[in-house]
Amino acid sequence: MKTFQRIVQFAKVKTFACKCIAIGAALAVVATACLIQLASTQLIGGRQTAQAATASRTLTVTLSAKRGRILDTNGTVLAQSVERYTIVGNPEAAQEFKPITCNDDTRDYCHEIDGKPVGTTGAAAVGRLLAGVLDMNAMELGAALAGTGQYVILKKDVTPQVKRSIEALHLGGIIWGELSSERLYSDGDLMGALLGGVNDEGTGVAGIEQIENDALTGTDGHETYQRGNGGEEIPGTMTESVAAKNGDDVNLTIDRDVQWYVKKTLKEAKSKYGAAWAIAVVQDVRTGEIMALADSDEVTAGTDEAKMGTSRAVSETFEPGSVGKVISMSGYLQTGLHKMTDQFTVPDHMTVEGQTYQDSSDHGTQRWTLAGILQNSSNIGMIMAASNFTDEQRYEYLTKFGIGQSTGLNLPGESAGWLTSASAWDLRTRNTVLFGQGYTVNIMQLNNAVATIANKGVKEQQSIIKSTTDANGTTTQTKKGESTRIIDEQVASDMMNAMESVAESYSKFVHVDGYRMAAKSGTAEVQGSDGKLSSIISDYSVVIPADNPRYAVTVVMKDPDGTYGGLTAGPVSAQICEFLMQKYEVPVSSARKNAIPVTW
């Protein structure tokens, strides 16, 4: 019996021991698994976890390049980009915001408005704090910050001063400023659509901003670093830094002072003569540089109107009228068809090939030299002198002087005008082209034709971009176009002589004391808004001084009271010429000698 009891007791002990061993083994397995997981976490996943934490703190920030400036020929700033900021908010952080009450201990980082508690929490509180600084409605700001996400733009083009005021609100990690720029133009409508403007991305979309966009545009840089909970850079964590390269400055041939005076004069002339518009150009005869290119329109550079339109002085085309006679007459002389002293008996009207022509005013039969035909602006005289001037020659000299050709300025909105080939001319057009009708020009083309005569017969490539200067201060001059001789120097001299006689005939209305002028006026009927020849183009091209040509000036007006170019555009051009003589202190002219006779 005792033996049996011992057997049973041993069995129980054995069973208990087995259970203990099993439980111990299970605990050992669990402990081993925990150790393995712990080792994995510490030894294998630790690096990944650390890397993930670093990545979440790492930020790459763009360093915006500043757009280059546009300056006049003397370095006066016409357009520049200034430091501005885009104020950005984190809606999620704003909604969790709780203002800190101000006391002696929290004074350096607390929140209050005009010395009083903010009065609320969350996005509404942030909106109240920002409202006064951003000059915006607190409710609108609060609504913007009440949305989803971590990024919302609250205001653009904020000045550095305002940004510093925001930083003083102690809203780090909730509100911050991102560097941007704003394009500013120094003189409003002085150059308006000629300068053009940039879009929201800072890309030139009109005017000089557009044609020089590649030069003006810089290359952005960037910085990569880790930031703290307040959005600040953690010292010593910068891993990459590439500096921004600012755009080049662009220097124009435009003289801001001349542009200002021409613009002012055109506005006054438009009002005085009741004209629809007025445009003008001033050019250096010797270099082809455009010193002023203005219109009477009041368009402010950088506005939507400037960005969507073009400068009237660039885009407007018109029949030049009698100013075009200087081109045809240059052809008569250059081909040897006539000399300036050749004599003509000129009636006031005539019929050729069934087409009747007449001069602008009735007159009896006149005994004029070729110079006299130009002085009296006789259409009949021009036709008579062209009896052996072929259609091909008429077309040749128009194109040689740049009519129907690109100016090479490449200004947005510029038109080359309209000139059909000689083979397309009808019986009337072949003669009207002799006196500036039957084709159209822009003001730069017309002025350069006159400047070519003043430059001893050599046509210069016009230019408006003088040079570019990169961020390192290296200046590159714009490559000058080729000079082309159009007429011989003696022919040019004879033309200037005859044009000076033209200017003398208008001296009662158009003069600059102490200076000789060579000029040609023009008046042309053009199509009006009614589709009929009901509008008038009045123009006047002048070279000053005539004895030592420096500047060529052309003024064009549409529908002025007074009609004739010499009586409307002429006096306006004289005002501009007088300013030029004074500004550049040009020596006075010598007395005129050897004037070619205008009658016989």
Percent over 90 (pLDDT), the chain: 78
**pLDDT score for 525:** 83
The amino acid present at 27, given as its one-letter code, is L
- Indicate the helix (H) or strand (E) that contains 213: helix 213-216
Residue of 299, 289, 239 lying closest to 444 (CA atoms) = 289
**pLDDT score for 400:** 98
| Predicted confidence band of residue 544 (pLDDT cuts 50, 70, 90) | very high
10 pLDDT more than 70: no
pTM value > 0.75: yes
**pLDDT score for 16:** 62
| Predicted confidence band of residue 539 (pLDDT cuts 50, 70, 90) | very high
| Predicted confidence band of residue 64 (pLDDT cuts 50, 70, 90) | confident
Asked if 251 and 464 count as a contact pair (C-beta separation under 8 A), the reply is no
Percent over 70 (pLDDT), the chain: 90
388 pLDDT more than 60: yes
**pLDDT score for 181:** 83
359 pLDDT more than 70: yes
Query: Mean pLDDT across the stretch 522-537?
Result: 85
Write down the mean pLDDT value for the chain: 91
Q: Tens of pLDDT along 213-234?
A: 999 999 988 888 776 655 566 7
| Predicted confidence band of residue 473 (pLDDT cuts 50, 70, 90) | very high
**pLDDT score for 237:** 81
The amino acid present at 104, given as its one-letter code, is D
11 pLDDT more than 60: no
| Predicted confidence band of residue 533 (pLDDT cuts 50, 70, 90) | confident
Dihedral angle, C-alpha 139, 144, 150, 152, nearest 10 °:
-130
Give the integer Cα–Cα distance in Å for 445 and 462: 9
483 pLDDT more than 60: yes
Query: Mean pLDDT across the stretch 545-551?
Result: 98
41 pLDDT more than 80: no
**Would strands 317-318 and 458-459 be described as parallel, antiparallel, or unpaired?**
unpaired
Q: Return the structure tokens found at 26.
A: 């299970």
**pLDDT score for 240:** 83
Whole-number CA gyration radius for the chain:
40
* φ/ψ of residue 248, rounded to 5: -75, 150
| 3-class SS of residue 524 | strand
Greatest Cα pair distance in the chain: 172
Give the integer Cα–Cα distance in Å for 318 and 340: 28
